[in-house]
Every structure is written in C-alpha cells, then in structure tokens.
Structure 1
Amino acid sequence: MTGLLVFDPLLPVWLIAVLAGMVICGTALALWRGLSGWALRALGAVVVLAALAGPVYQQEDRAPLSDIVMVVEDSSASHRLGDRAEMTTQAAEALATRLQARENTEVRRVTVPDGADNSGTQLMSTLADAMAEEPQGRIAGVFVLSDGRLHDLDRAPNLPAPMHLLHTGRSDDWDRRLIIAGAPAFAILDEEITLTIRVEDSGAVPENVESAQLDISIDGDAPQRFEVPIGRDIDLPLVLPHGGRNVLQFTIPEAEGELTDRNNSALVQINGVRDRLSVLLVSGEPHPGGRTWRNLLKSDSSVDLVHFTILRPPEKQDGVPVRELSLIAFPTRELFLEKIDDFDLIIFDRYKRRGILPSLYLDNVRSYVEGGGAVLIAAGPDFASADSLYRSPLEAIVPARPTARVIDRGYRPAVTDLGQRHPVTAGLSELHEGDWGRWLRQIEVGDPVGDVVMSGAEDAPLLILDRVGEGRVALLASDHAWLWNRGYEGGGPQLELLRRLAHWMMKEPELEEEALWAEATGQQMRIIRRSLAASVGPVTITTPLGDTLDLPLAEVSPGRFEAIYDGPVIGLYRLENGDQSAVIGLGPAAPVEFEETIASGAPMAEVIAASNGGVRALEDGVPGIRAVSPGRPAAGRTWLGITPRGAYRTQSVTQTALLPAWLVLLLASMLVIGGWLREGRR
C-alpha cells in the first residue's frame, strides 16, 4: 500500500491562479493601509483557494510485476557454420537459467530464422516484433546470441534497457570469398566484355597464402582452371560463345580450415545478342511484294539490309548508252564470292536465272548454307519455269520441287497441324481478328523435305522450312504475301509471319523449334520445353548437391510443355530432356548470408553503445548477470547488466479529500469572522 498527495482542481488552473493573484493584491493593499485583520482574511482566502485546488490523499494497492529479459537466438544460415549453433543453444540455456534464478525476472526467448527471398538475417525486425508484444516498462535487458552479421540494422527498435551481444565466433575463424563485379545483363556476340573478379580472405588467414585456383565453366561444360592472386581485382576478358542465355559459373576450391565454401562460387547469367544482322535481298524484278520485304527489314534497327533489284537484265537491249544509265552494276563477285559469309540471311525474291549469277556463284550459295548460312526463296511464277532457281546448283538444298503448275485462283493460307507447334507459325491466328484475307497465286510444289508449316490452295505446301547441314532454307511458294499488308479482304498477320520467318532463319534462340530452357523466380523455376513432337518425356533435373529427379512436363499449348519446380537449395541446376539440355541458376550462388561470415560485433556496435550494453565472445564463457541503475554502464569484464524496471500493477485506489466542504466552510467562516472582530475591536 502506497500513499501520495494529488490535486483534482474544481476550476481551471489558470482561473485559480487569477484568484490567487487577486488575493495577493488585496492582502498587500490591506497591509499598506494598516488594516489589523488582514492576516486572518488572507488565511481565509488561502483556505478557499486550497479547497478549489482539490487536494486529495490517494492510496494505491500495488502488485509488483516481474522484469522481462529477452534472449534472442540467431538461427540463420551463417550462424549454422562450424559449431555456432551448438554454442548458441548451450549458452542460451545457461543464460536463461541464470536469469530465471533471479527474483522477479522472466525470460522471453526469440529465434531469428533466415530472411525470406535472400534478405539475410532480419534480427532487428524480429526483435522489434517481439518487443511490440511486451510492455516496454517491464523490459529490463536484451541478450543477442549471434555472429553479429545482420542485414536490417536500420530497423533497430528504441531500447528501454541495455542490449548485449554474445557473438559465437572463434579467434581462429577465417574464410575465403569470391566476388564478381561489373557483370552486364547482356553482351554483343563476338565482342569482348570484361568481368572484374576478386578473391578475398578475411579473419585469421593462414600465412604465406597469396593465390588461389579459379575454375570457370560456361553452360555446365568442363571448367578451365586458372591461378589468381588473392586480394586484388582481376579483369577477365570474355567473348560469349552463343546467343541467348549464357550461364557462367566461377568456383574456387574449398581451402583447408575455412568456414564454408558456400561463398566460393558465383553465377553470372548474360544474354548474348547480335549487334547487327546482315541481310542480302535480291529481287528478280520489281513487284509489290519487294517493297513489303524491304519495309519489313528496314523497320528492324538491328538489321543491315543490302537490297538489289534487277531492273536491267542482260537480254534487255534498248540502245541506251551505258554512260547515260543511272543504274549501278550488280556486284556479283563481291557479294557471292568474297563477302557471302558476312551475310546472316540471303533472300531471293522472285528471282530466276538470267545469266547474272553463274552456276559457280549459286554453288557457292549452296556451300554457304551447308556451312551455317540461311537462304529464303520467295517464289513467283518464274520458280515454275525452266529458269527456276530449282534448276541450278541450289536444287540440292531447295526443300521442294516445283511441278511447273501455277495456281491462279484465290485461297486462304492455313497453318498446318505441324505449323501449330512450330514457333514460326504457332499462335498466328491469335494475332489477327477474323478470317485471313485470300492470296491469289501459288506455285505448286511436290516432294517437300523438312517441315510444312503452312498450306494453301488444294492443301498444297505453301511454306516449307528445312535444315541443310549447319544452315537453314525456307521456301514460300507464293509472291502474294503483300496482299495481307495491303489489307486485302481484311489482311492477315503478314508482318509477324515474315518477321518470325526471317529471325528463325537467322537462328534467333527464341524461335528454335526444339528447345529447353527455364525461367527463374527466386528459388522457383518454370521449365519450358518446346518441341514439334506430340509428346515429350520427363525432364531430368540435377541439383547443385548432385541429386537427380525426373519431373513430368504438361502441354500448355501446341508444341509447348511446362513444369514448375521449387529448388531445395540455391545454385546451378542442370536440365536434360532427350537431346536437349540447359542450365539455370536459382538465386545467387553465394547468398547474402555468406557475404560476410566472420563473427563480429562491429555491425551492432553503435546500437549496443547507445544502450550502455556490451559485446562479449561466447568462446570466453557465459558472463555473469548484475543489476545496474538506469543510465549506468551495463557491462564489465566478466559480467553484463540488466536494469530492473520496478513495474507494478495497481489493484485498487482509495482517495480521501483533505479539505471537505464542511471543513472549508468552517475554517473560512472562522477566519473571516475573526478578521472582522479584530478590525471592529480596533
């Protein structure tokens, strides 16, 4: 039971102060005029003012509350290195036992897990959440058992009591880390890029260690090994081997005695893109479709187009002097002998043999395709004639034989069943509302070789794609694709069709008909298999730990099969399905938890110092516990302190008025009358 004097004014404090001022002035005036009863009248006024102030004697029945000490245990990935977890468990038990043995003390144990999405150790966030559930007036101290490596220091809560760190590091701990800096998201093929690599040692590093071995692997191939210095930035020149995603893995072998090898690897994923695509377009004669091809290719900023239209064939003899002609000569030798390998794609648009390109040059085009080049033939009526390109050395690579028949009637192009699965024509019907417009001419071809992805009149092959050697060939058996571009009968997806066709021939990775790849989101991957087959088998996944599993793929659209997989660990995964393979990195190879692994109190030093706490190494033993006054240093050589808060719960309150109304009336009346009588007696 405790008692204290409190006031419950009957009037506003400012009004009581005004009345008190009036009393003082009146008393001073009476004193100046020599009135004999001024003292009694003043005392009477004081009694009234005191009554207006409402003095009350308050008695409280209090029940003391225990002090709360929070013990925060780090269980993040970096804190599971070595014997840190075991050391933490033993120290937490010993600390909790000592604290609970103190009178009027409770212990709250808080565990800090790994942060979500590679966010690291969210120690301060966890502590703030735990403190929000407790009365701040009862928290007497915070003990943190951790390696001191946290990633949310900016979220440190306001501490009403000392915070202490018992770090789990040992004096002989050391670690080696691989750092990759300046890695671009994409790079131009055949152009050199530079990656900055650094191998860094920290902690109690062994003496006379000046270099380390570095293994570099691209797309999971056999690694190449290099000797690199420690503690210095190294510029590594690199040329990407192929377009699309290139997965580079850098690894340094685990050294004897280091804490972990989880930060000895780094994954870099760089997309290889072509700088410029070089296209040669040869139009056999002017026609509306020639402008369509030209506009399509010129609209792509990544394409360098060389276009020749043959306006003056050798048989044309009109008597115009050569010096008066503004036409340039067709540089056949330069284009088809000397620089043919500089082109990514050659398009013959309604071209026929006129003696301009000798058989030697056309044979060179065949060799160009077999060596990895691409040729697209947009056929017109001349393809069905005796001067057809088919009746040349190109016969060996053209994917269909002309029958010499030209179909001159309207028809609607259609995507074949195989074309529904092929990336060049898949989903074309969804890109254009309504029915496609008709084309009015088609060259009949037979004995198609390769993939017939579109059909036309009488279900005859209209678009045929084929692979020859290392190269690709396409035959479009019509010269009326431009009708779609003009919007004839509603038009059609002409630009998208021709764009895909050109890019497939130039071997853009996203248009490969047989492909396997994965898209990563955190530690989850979406595995995608594209195939012309009606079904595919399961994909074999090899985890970074060397485990393998088979995952079935479900068809989500024609020719596209997918599956979702949650990777158990961060690292490089290998995927295999038939003759297709791919690699994918889930998360960083070295998570943020392992960027700094040497235990230290430095990251938390500022917060701990502000609360008068201390930092101690657990390898020196669990320190003793003492009670200290608020604001005093709470750490010594062998002890750490808590601040008892003296919190209590009020069970009942009793208030007794010191100046009840009857007493105020009696005292004031007596004093006023006494003053009047004294003045009257005088």
Structure 2
Amino acid sequence: MTGSIIFDPLLDWPLVWAALAVAILFVAAAVWRGLSGWWLRGLAAAVLVVALLNPSLQQEQRAPLSDIVILVVDESASQRIASRPDQTAEAIARVEAEVAGLENTELRIVPLGDGEGDEGTLLMTALAEAMAEEPRARLAGAILLTDGQLHDVDRAPDLPAPLHVLLTGEEDDWDRRLMVTNAPSFAILGEPVTLTLRVEDQGAVPDTEGGLAPLEIAIDGGEPQRFDVPVGEDLELPITLPHGGMNVIQFTVPEAEGELTDRNNAAVVQINGVRDRLRVLLVSGEPHPGERTWRNLLKSDSSVDLVHFTILRPPEKQDGVPVNELSLIAFPTRELFIDKIDEFDLIIFDRYKRRGILPSLYLDNVRQYVEDGGAVLVAAGPDFATANSLYRSPLAEILPAAPTSLVLEEGYRPEITDLGERHPVTAGLEAFSPVEMVDATGDEDEDGPRWGRWFRLVELEETSGNTVMSAMDGRPLLVLDRVGEGRIALLGSDHAWLWNRGFEGGGPQLELLRRLAHWMMKEPELEEEALSATAEGQTMTIVRRTLEDGVGEVELTAPDGTVMMVPLEEVRPGRWEATVEGPEIGLYRLREGDEDAVIALGPAAPREFEATIASGDLLEPEVDQTRGGIVRIEDGVPDLRSVRAGRPAAGRGWLGITPREAYLTADVRLTPLVSGWLFLMLAGLLMVGAWMREGRN
C-alpha cells in the first residue's frame, strides 16, 4: 500500500483558474485602497481556492511484477556445426540457473530456426517480435545466444535494458568456401562459356592450408575432373557444354582437415545448352510425295540448317550416261561423307537406295560417324526390301532391323507398342490425336480418337534396339537403337506424309519428328534411362524414367549428410515420380541404380554459410549502445547480476540486468485531507478578522 497527495478539483480547471484570478483582483483592490486587513482577505481567498482544489490522499494497493529477461537462441543451420550445439545447450542451462537465482525475475527463451527461402539468420527480427509480446516496463535485459552471423542487424529494436551476446564457436575456427561469382543461364553448344569461381579461406587458417586447393568439376553427376586452384583469387574457367538442354555442373572443394563444415564447399550451376543451328543432311532417293513433306518440315524450323540432295534419275532409265554427269551441280559426295560428315548433327536417308553414287567406303564412313556419336534416320521405301537396299551395305552393322524382302500394300493405323508407351520418343503421342476419327467405312472408331492410316509397310525383323511403333499384326514400324556413342532410327514406311496432309485426320508427324531429332541429339529430357529433379521453393519433384517394369527407391542425401530413401510412384508407363519437401536449402544428391542427379534447393551454399566464423563485430554497435557485453562461451558462461539503469552492465565474468520494479495497481482510494466545512469555517474566520481589524482602525 502506497499513498500520495493529489488535487482533485471540485470544478473544472478553467473555473478554478478563473476563481483564482478573481481572488487576486479582490486582494489587489484591497491593497490599492489601503485596507489594513488586506492580508487577511488574501488568506481567506487562498483558503477558498485550496478548498476548490480539494486536496486528497490517494492510496494505491500495488502488486509487484517480475522482471523479464529474453534469451534468443540461434538454432539456424550454422549453429549446428562443430561443437556449437553442445555450447548452446550448456549456455541455455547456465542462463536458466542464473535467472532462477535472481529475485523476482523470469526468463523467456525464444528459439530461432532457419528463415524461409534464403533469408539467413533474422536474429533482430526475432528479438523485436519477442519484445512486442512482453510489457516494455518489465524488460530487464536481452541475451542473444548466437555465432554473431546475422542478416538483419538493421532491424535492431530500441532496448530499454542491456543487450548481451553469448558467442558460440572457437577462437581457432577456420573454414573454406567455394563461390561462383559469375555464371550464365544458357550457352551455345560447341562454344566455350566462361564461369568465374573463387575459393576463399576464413578464420584462423592453418599455415599448411595456404596456396592451392583441390577443385573437382562434374557435369550431370558424371566422373569428376580434379584441378588445383589458387586460394583467394578469382578463377575464370571456360567450359564447353556436352549436350543440349539443362546441363548441371557441380563444383566441389573436398573438405580440408579441421575446417568447420563442407556445406559451403560445393556449388551447382545449371546452364541450358542451346544449339546455334541444327545441321541436317537429307539425302532423298527418287522423288515421291513424302519428299516435300520432309523438306517443308525441316525448313519450317528456323534453327535447322538443311542440306538436301535428291537423286532424280529414275531406276528404269538406262542411257549409258555416267553417274557423275547426271546433275547440273556435282553431288559433293566426298566433301559431305568424308571431309565434313562430322559437322552434321543428323543424317536422313529418305527412300534412298544404292546406285553407285555413294560407294561402300562412304557408307562405311556413315557407320563410323554413328558409332562416334552421330545420328542417322532411315525412312524406308519399297527399295529397302530389294537387293539395292541400304541394308546391303556397311550400314547393316548398325541398323536395328533387317528387311524380309516383303512389302505390304494395305491400310493400317500406326500403333504405339507397350515399350513405346514407356519410351520418351513416343510416350504420350496419343494426346496429338484428332478430336474425332472415323474408320474407313465411315463409322466412328470404337477405340476413340486414332491416327490416320498408312498404306505401305516394309516388313522388318528386329535385330536390336527397341520397337516403339508397330503396324498391322504388331509388325515393327519404328525401331530405335543406340550404336556406340551414337543413335539410329529406322522407319519402315514412306507414308508418314499422309499425316501431314491430314488424311483421315492425320497424325503427329511434326511432333514425332521433333522428338526423334531431339532423342538422337541426346537431349536429356528424352533419355530412356534418366533420373532428374526439379525444385519449386522447398518442394522437390523427383522423376525417374526407365524402360524397365519397375524401379527401386531413390537414395536422397541431404546437405547435412543425412540419407533418406524415397519410394517412387508410377504416374504413367515408364515415368515414376515422387514429391519431397526439403528440410533445408542446399545441395541434394540423388541416386537410383546406376543413375545419379544433383539438385539445389535455393543456392547450393546458402546465405547461412557465407560466413561461418563466429564473430561479434556485427552486433558490437548495438551492444555498446546499451552498455552490454559480448562473451565467448568457450571462455565460460558469465554470471548474471543486477545493476542500476545507466551503469555499465558487463564486466569480467559477469553480465548485468536492470531491475525494472514494475507493478500492477490493484486498487486506488481517494480521501479528502480536510473537510469542506472546515475550509468554509476557516475562510469565514479570516474574513471576520479582516473586518474587525479594519473597523478598529
């Protein structure tokens, strides 16, 4: 219970001030007239004014409130390396014990994890939010348990009490960091692109670690190449992308002995490989309706550089003219098939047959071109079943099917085989079917939308590869195969042009050709056996493509080294998927069978690991403003003691908090000091005294 004297006016304050002014005027008039009792009149007026002010005794019943100390515990990723978790646990236990030993003091512990995305450590934001939940008048101090590497120091709140820092880490900590300072998002295939890297050492670096550092570079999870690079210098690295589409380039610096963490020793760069021009050589046999279709399809793509030759001499014409004199422009066979064959990305033989123009030596060079990584597409016509067939040449060693010498001339609809349902070249081609389809009799097809019919098939016997499309009775129509480093495709019909003309609704000729070309160009999105992942925020979508009937679980290695097994679910034939929520940003490694992949959620080296050496430099200005202190936990957790406001709050082995002496008012009572009748009687006596003194005079 506490008490104090206050004034509780009976009238509003303006009326009280008016009464005081009137009283002063009356006393002044008495003095001017020379009345001897003027001073008694003044006392009477003063008594009346005091009566109007109504002096009272205010008594409060107060309930004392405890002081509050806020402890913000940094639990971000950089606080989970080396001995920092043990230091953090030790410091929390010691602070709890110290606060428990202080009179009338409570502890509020605020854990701070990793922020969303790559925001880093928002230490000051957490402190401001914790202060907003507590009465400011009760805040006796704040303690930050951290490594000092925060990313929102500009949001530091205004503290009415000391701010202290308990610093984790060791004085002799050191760390090595890999940075990619410049990397383009796309590059042209065949042309080198320059990336800028930097390997940087931080902290108390041992003398043995200076100078050079090993650097490993791997593309698409392949075998890494190792180099020794200088530390502390920008390194310009030219790289030529091996294939089109997304190229995932991983840079890794092996963990050195004694460094804090390898979380910032890796970086991933994703560069989209773009072909400047797709060089295609189209060699056509005798003219036929499909020749113009092939040419129009290839010329309609501005990214295709087409070289087209057609053999115009009909086979039945025998006039004795030498072959090399049959054209106005000489067919540069040697230049195309010997000197510059490696400059082409794709060679297409459209209804071509052997007639002496391309000797076996040149065709053998085409075979070698495929084995060395080239691509050949053979669109077979009736001549493929004759003695002049390309199969009767050195190309037979790489062709995936052999002709039976039978040519079927009847209508059929191309079908995707069971294997083709899983192969990325033909999977999902049904989506390109016409909306409505009728069969040859005019009735609606009971099986739903289908493609238009073809009317010729060269019967083939599959010898290798994969049959992805079939004709009547399951006969092979489109066979794909890998030969050496290259790829080859055999189409057993020359009636694909019917789709382009829209016969019976047509079909997906353009899409099929595009996929064939991209598959033969080894585009990653059309690989039969592939493991890939895409990320959206912290959500990772894992995709496994295979021609097999099943796949195993994916081994997923998180940035902190923990391994989890992820089961996959078949979403459509040949495609298996899973969605995983990444627990933290960083580099993830995936493996299933012989397939590997890497993916980065956010940057491969998060902002949290840009600086891992514990330091109080960023927090020092804020701590100094409140006269607090910064103490390393390795030197021992200091004691807590009470200090007066404005006094130094840190010393050797101790940190101070400021008691606030806050309270809660439970009850308030007002009691007038003097009764109103007493004021009135006293004023009356003074006025009578003034009248008697003036009357005597």
TM-score normalized by the length of structure 1: 0.81
Cα distance in 1 for partners of 2:587, 2:414 equals 47
For 2:444, the equivalent position in structure 1 comes to: none
Cα distance in 2 for partners of 1:47, 1:316 equals 142
Q: Would you say the 8 A contact 2:384–2:458 is kept in 1? A: no
Root-mean-square deviation (CA, aligned residues, Å) is 4.5
Q: Would you say the 8 A contact 1:193–1:237 is kept in 2? A: yes
For 2:530, the equivalent position in structure 1 comes to: 515
- Quick check: 1:349 aligned with 2:363? no
Q: Would you say the 8 A contact 2:59–2:669 is kept in 1? A: yes
- Quick check: 1:401 aligned with 2:403? yes
Residue identity opposite 1:167 in structure 2: L
For 1:555, the equivalent position in structure 2 comes to: 570
For 2:336, the equivalent position in structure 1 comes to: 335
The C-alpha deviation readout for 1:280-339, integer Å capped at 9, x for no partner, is 123445555444434443454543332344567799899xxxxxx997443333222221
Q: Would you say the 8 A contact 1:530–1:560 is kept in 2? A: yes
Taking the TM superposition and a 5 Å limit, the aligned residue runs for 1:197-236 are 197-207=197-207, 210-218=210-218, 224-236=225-237
Q: Partner of 2:519: helix, strand, or coil?
A: helix
The C-alpha deviation readout for 1:558-613, integer Å capped at 9, x for no partner, is 11223456788965635242xx3213255566454443232211111232233332
Taking the TM superposition and a 5 Å limit, the aligned residue runs for 1:601-620 are 601-620=616-635
Q: Deviation of residue 246 (structure 1)?
A: 3.6
Q: Would you say the 8 A contact 1:384–1:402 is kept in 2? A: yes
For 1:439, the equivalent position in structure 2 comes to: 453
Cα distance in 1 for partners of 2:186, 2:67 equals 58
Cα distance in 2 for partners of 1:5, 1:459 equals 108
For 1:322, the equivalent position in structure 2 comes to: none
For 2:425, the equivalent position in structure 1 comes to: 424
For 2:443, the equivalent position in structure 1 comes to: none
Cα distance in 2 for partners of 1:183, 1:150 equals 27
For 2:445, the equivalent position in structure 1 comes to: none
Which among 526, 546, 555 is matched to residue 531 of structure 1?
A: 546
Cα distance in 2 for partners of 1:575, 1:300 equals 37
Residue identity opposite 1:401 in structure 2: P
TM-score normalized by the length of structure 2: 0.80
Q: Would you say the 8 A contact 1:520–1:584 is kept in 2? A: no
For 1:280, the equivalent position in structure 2 comes to: 281
For 2:130, the equivalent position in structure 1 comes to: 130
Taking the TM superposition and a 5 Å limit, the aligned residue runs for 1:576-615 are 576-577=592-593, 580-585=594-599, 587=601, 590-615=605-630
Cα distance in 2 for partners of 1:269, 1:35 equals 103
Q: 1:548 to 1:452 in 2, by over 3 A?
A: same
Q: Deviation of residue 342 (structure 1)?
A: 1.0
Q: Partner of 1:612: helix, strand, or coil?
A: coil
Cα distance in 2 for partners of 1:296, 1:17 equals 101
Q: Would you say the 8 A contact 1:16–1:53 is kept in 2? A: no
Residue identity opposite 1:415 in structure 2: I
Q: Deviation of residue 343 (structure 1)?
A: 0.8
Q: Partner of 2:462: helix, strand, or coil?
A: coil
Cα distance in 2 for partners of 1:456, 1:200 equals 62
Q: Would you say the 8 A contact 2:349–2:379 is kept in 1? A: yes
Q: Partner of 1:507: helix, strand, or coil?
A: coil
For 1:321, the equivalent position in structure 2 comes to: none
Q: Would you say the 8 A contact 1:384–1:406 is kept in 2? A: no
Q: 1:309 to 1:184 in 2, by over 3 A?
A: same
Cα distance in 1 for partners of 2:657, 2:422 equals 71
Q: Would you say the 8 A contact 2:417–2:468 is kept in 1? A: yes
Q: Partner of 1:441: helix, strand, or coil?
A: coil
Q: Deviation of residue 674 (structure 1)?
A: 11
Q: Partner of 2:619: helix, strand, or coil?
A: helix
Cα distance in 2 for partners of 1:369, 1:118 equals 46
Q: Would you say the 8 A contact 2:241–2:273 is kept in 1? A: no
Q: Would you say the 8 A contact 1:187–1:270 is kept in 2? A: no
| Matched pairs, number | 670
Cα distance in 2 for partners of 1:70, 1:422 equals 61
Q: Could you list the runs of 5+ residues in structure 1 that have no partner in the other structure? A: 319-324
Cα distance in 1 for partners of 2:71, 2:695 equals 79
For 2:481, the equivalent position in structure 1 comes to: 466
Residue identity opposite 1:172 in structure 2: D
Q: Partner of 1:447: helix, strand, or coil?
A: strand
- Quick check: 1:192 aligned with 2:192? yes
The C-alpha deviation readout for 1:102-146, integer Å capped at 9, x for no partner, is 332223334444556565444334433433432221110112233
- Quick check: 1:106 aligned with 2:120? no
Q: 1:20 to 1:307 in 2, by over 3 A?
A: farther
- Quick check: 1:178 aligned with 2:192? no
Q: 1:680 to 1:186 in 2, by over 3 A?
A: farther
The C-alpha deviation readout for 1:41-71, integer Å capped at 9, x for no partner, is 9999999988887876432111211211223
- Quick check: 1:250 aligned with 2:252? yes
Q: Deviation of residue 484 (structure 1)?
A: 3.4
Q: Would you say the 8 A contact 1:454–1:462 is kept in 2? A: yes
The more displaced of 622-631 and 331-340 is 622-631
The C-alpha deviation readout for 1:420-448, integer Å capped at 9, x for no partner, is 11111111112444423423432232313
Q: 1:21 to 1:317 in 2, by over 3 A?
A: farther
Cα distance in 2 for partners of 1:177, 1:672 equals 94
Cα distance in 2 for partners of 1:664, 1:479 equals 124
Cα distance in 1 for partners of 2:418, 2:154 equals 59
Q: Could you list the runs of 5+ residues in structure 2 that have no partner in the other structure? A: 320-325, 437-448
Q: Partner of 1:70: helix, strand, or coil?
A: strand
Q: Deviation of residue 662 (structure 1)?
A: 7.9
Q: Partner of 1:583: helix, strand, or coil?
A: strand
Cα distance in 1 for partners of 2:431, 2:680 equals 98
* Percent identity over paired residues: 57
Cα distance in 2 for partners of 1:43, 1:343 equals 119
Cα distance in 2 for partners of 1:247, 1:427 equals 30
Q: 1:65 to 1:538 in 2, by over 3 A?
A: closer
For 2:662, the equivalent position in structure 1 comes to: 647
The C-alpha deviation readout for 1:221-245, integer Å capped at 9, x for no partner, is 6655444333222333333455553
Taking the TM superposition and a 5 Å limit, the aligned residue runs for 1:302-313 are 302-310=303-311
Cα distance in 1 for partners of 2:44, 2:291 equals 116
